[in-house]
Amino acid sequence: MANSGTSTPPFQPRRVFFEQRAMAYPLAQELYDRFTADKVPIRMIESHNRVTGIPGGTPQIAYREAKRTLVVGVKVGLEFDTCRPSADYEFAMGTSCPGGCQYCYLATTLGRKPYVRVYVNIDEILASIKRHIEARLPETTSFEASSTSDPLAVEHLTGNLGRAITFFGQQEHGLLRLTTKFHLVDSLLNLPHNERTRFRFSVNSEKIITTYEQQTAALSERL
């Protein structure tokens, strides 16, 4: 739970599922080695869309344990949906997040898949973004990165957000947008963003954060 008196620790999963084909990507192998060294239970699965074995005797427990589960997969669909009025398009580097915000729309849109999922084929995702930008030249094209997840919540594990920020820093006609309730931004501060990325930090009173936004950063950390 968010706590203004102590630093909110970064997300560390209790169990990790790896999609078989994800292991062809360097990031998946890095994560596999990391969690193996940390003695986190690991299972291999055929598809990141079919995850079984998350414990839970009741729906409430199952949901809570899913939020403590990391699934590592490959993003297949690389055509992006529109995201008006926030941005021209939305793209995903993952889905869900470890936060427990009681009002989050992802609690319903993700249905039975509330587990934290990250995609390891970031180069392919960025290449698709490049194609979408080029298709709309000379217009500037904006992209929302937090429609289905909070990418900052898992940045300490993947580095994907940093790569996206650096990529957009090189795009004269591309803009990146995202919102977050987390605070671990140190690895991003010196990136060559070239003012092509806009962060939106969600801010509420400490009472609201503590009551309704569990497992997110405290108000003092967000500020």
Q: Where are the domains of the chain?
A: 15-222
- Compute the distance between CA of residue 145 and CA of residue 212 in angstroms, rounded to an integer: 23
201: enclosing H helix or E strand = strand 197-201
Cα–Cα–Cα angle for 87, 80, 141, rounded to 5 degrees: 40
Question: Do 101 and 48 meet the contact criterion of CB atoms below 8 Å apart?
Answer: no
Please tell us whether the domain made up of 15-222 is placed in CATH 3.40.50.12110.
yes
**pTM value?**
0.90
pLDDT in tens, the chain (223 residues): 444 445 778 999 999 999 999 999 999 999 999 999 999 999 999 999 889 989 888 888 888 899 999 999 999 999 999 998 889 999 999 999 998 887 887 766 666 778 999 999 999 999 999 999 999 999 999 999 999 999 999 999 999 999 999 999 999 999 999 999 999 999 999 999 999 999 999 888 889 988 888 888 888 888 8
Per the DSSP assignment, residues forming a β-bridge with 45 are 19
